[in-house]
Amino acid sequence: MSKLFHSAAALSLVVSLQANAALATLSPEPVHSQTLMDVVSALQEGHYSEVDFNDQLSSAVLDQYLASLDPERSFFLASDIEEFEQYRSELDDQILDGQTQAAFTIFNRYQQRRSERLDYILSQLDTGEWDFSREEHLNTNREEAPWATSTEALDELWRKRLKSAVLSLKLADKTVDEAREILRKRYTNQLKRMEQAKNDDVFESFVNALTHEFDPHTQYYSPRGSENFQINMSLSLEGIGAVLQAENDQTKVVRLVPAGPADKAGQLQPADVIVGVGQGKEGEIEDVVGMRLDDVVSKIRGPKDSVVRLEIIPADAVDRQTRKVIEITRNKVKLEEQAARKRILEVERDGKPYKLGVIEVPTFYIDFAALQNGDPNYKSTTRDVEKLIHELREEDIDGLIVDLRNNGGGSLREANELIGLFIQRGPTVQIRDASGRVDILGDFDPKVVWNGPMAVMVNRLSASASEIFAGAIQDYNRGIIVGNRTFGKGTVQTLQPIDHGQVKLTHAKFYRISGDSTQHRGVEPDITFPSLFSVEDIGESSLDKALPWDKVRPVRHGRFPSLSPFMKALLQRHEARTADAPDFVFMRKQVEHFRDRKADDLVTLSEQMLRSEKEENEAWMLNVENERRKGLGLPAVSDLSQADDDLPKDEQGRPINPEAEAILAESGEILVDLIDLTLSHTAANEAQTQTSDRD
């Protein structure tokens, strides 16, 4: 063993001992009692749902608090959990009295157990050896696993976890000693962050176990948490333009800000996992696994025009050992780049050319400041889309596609007014508040800007205002909806300041004019496309304690002629057209393979077997990519990175995703099908009328 290795081992041991010595016992502060009662009052008076403070809630809060601290059941012992059972029916009474001592008792035990685990890991990193030829497995899904009954059982679990981590780094071309050093830094940093835990952090964590029982969007922010929340909100248009969330020990991408640096770079995608961050083109990639979300965000943030490098596990990776380093130049999002934009899609059918207008709406925006200042030229989604439609009509388009893919919502007013461009007048959305009162929004302007055939494209990341628009178009039979089931975000939140922080409350729900809620289920498209975004991983239905789908009374409204007579033929034509289409064959194979891989919770700890699996997966992915390229008449590639390098760029310099383009092209084909079937149906009716007249 080298002198350098001895020095590193001694240093980590000293740091570990210092961390344990510095691990303070945390306790409630006087301000927490009144704050908790303020939160309870806000929940009881302002939340959409009525939740009784009883033993059932007490039990749920205890389970949620334990799950938030130890989601993989890898720190607490069964004896700890048995000890905490004394609180199962008491927390509701304590909460109403503003008491949180039980929460701090549990948290302090958690700190103790976590410190013990980190000490064990660091000692293993210093002295442990691993047999990578041994065939054993690690269960990566322990949410429902039994709690360990002994320290020895936890040692065995963490031995396997550490071996898996070292092996994963080995497959990423690190030596064992390099892996030791990376992991030593990771766990030493976790020990240091444990020292920094504050009383407010414990209080915030416990209160959010309570608010989570109301719904996943209701949350308490301590003064520090409020500050971070405001920073993150204001920086949503800065940095790299990505919304992140913590998921166990990892940082997951939730969505990208339209026209943001990450969106433009085209390399980061929703559901990607960030495992490392490096500063500049040459800076060392710092491991961020196990790091607090706000710490990860602070490392990704930076000055305009500076470069950040992210090491990610891609969401579409065929195995979790895959690592990819991407480079993004930080910048502010220019609001004008988030504006709706148009293009022409040309489709030829039976020798006849069709011109389809495509309007991409990245978000529902409005310049409220300019509007309030009386600026007649203020920007908004509806005003911009109306202008684009007029321009497209001058080009004699045959149909219109509104592309709402990845549109996370925005201004409700704009969603309402945008619907009005396609109907004469009528209701558009219903909003029910906590008291049960239902307000109906609608379009009262008889002006129609486009009355021709139309389609609306959605996917799993189309949320909130996007769902209101798509749902109304579907309810009016105004157009055909294609894509994937939408996000299912049908709730409305508001921020309520209290003396010590603030509460984000869900206070209302959206309902379609049909009476159906957009909550949880989202909007189901008329024709569905393959998607890697599963409802189990992305969307409202993936969130624990999400408010359920329900209905209110439907609103009377006019309807355009039903599309039902054409749906069977539309689906048959779509399926026939895409059965052998290279891009669709590729997407279906990828979805099926990804689903099969994800279903396996056991990870091998044999290096030979893991390398073999990795090579098989990479070979499979390269093979299906080359099958796709052959079908499209493109040359084969010897490496998947070559395929990425081949991607064309749009006018903003963003790589054009071939699957996204294939979906757009097929949406155009479906719209032409609808035009064709509608014309044939009209012609048949006219012929029948003429025959009846002659008779």
Annotated catalytic sites, by residue?
Answer: 464, 475, 489
Question: Per the structure block, which two tokens stand in for 377?
Answer: 């030229």
Residue 328's nearest CA partner among 261, 253, 235 is 261
Q: Which residues pair with 243 in a beta bridge?
A: 255
| DSSP β-ladder status, 341-349 and 501-511 | unpaired
Number of H helices, E strands in the chain: 21, 19
Tell me 88's DSSP state.
T
Which residues are CB-contacts of 668 (< 8 A; sequence separation ≥ 6)?
345, 347, 354, 356, 358, 401
Q: Residue holding tokens 């065939």? A: 135
Tell me 483's DSSP state.
E
Which residues are CB-contacts of 300 (< 8 A; sequence separation ≥ 6)?
239, 240, 242, 244, 274, 277, 308, 310
Task: Compute and round to an integer the Cα radius of gyration of the chain.
Answer: 28
Q: Are 466 and 185 in contact (CB under 8 A)?
A: no
Q: Residue holding tokens 């195995």? A: 319
Which residues are CB-contacts of 341 (< 8 A; sequence separation ≥ 6)?
359, 360, 388
Question: Per the structure block, which two tokens stand in for 573?
Answer: 């034509």
Task: State the Cα–Cα distance between residues 535 and 320, nearest whole angstrom.
Answer: 20
Question: Per the structure block, which two tokens stand in for 254?
Answer: 């939730």
Q: How far is CA 13 from CA 115, 126, 161, 543, in A?
A: 13, 9, 20, 40
Task: State the Cα–Cα distance between residues 20 and 194, nearest whole angstrom.
Answer: 9
Question: Per the structure block, which two tokens stand in for 166?
Answer: 């070292």
Q: What are phi and psi of 46, to 5 degrees?
A: -120, -15
Q: Are 102 and 87 in contact (CB under 8 A)?
A: yes
Q: Are 32 and 205 in contact (CB under 8 A)?
A: no
Can you give the length of the chain in residues?
695
SS3 280: coil
Question: Per the structure block, which two tokens stand in for 8?
Answer: 């590193």
Q: Are 500 and 493 in contact (CB under 8 A)?
A: no
Question: Per the structure block, which two tokens stand in for 243?
Answer: 């919304």
Residue 117's H or E segment, with its range, is helix 101-127
Which residues are CB-contacts of 640 (< 8 A; sequence separation ≥ 6)?
618, 621, 622, 625
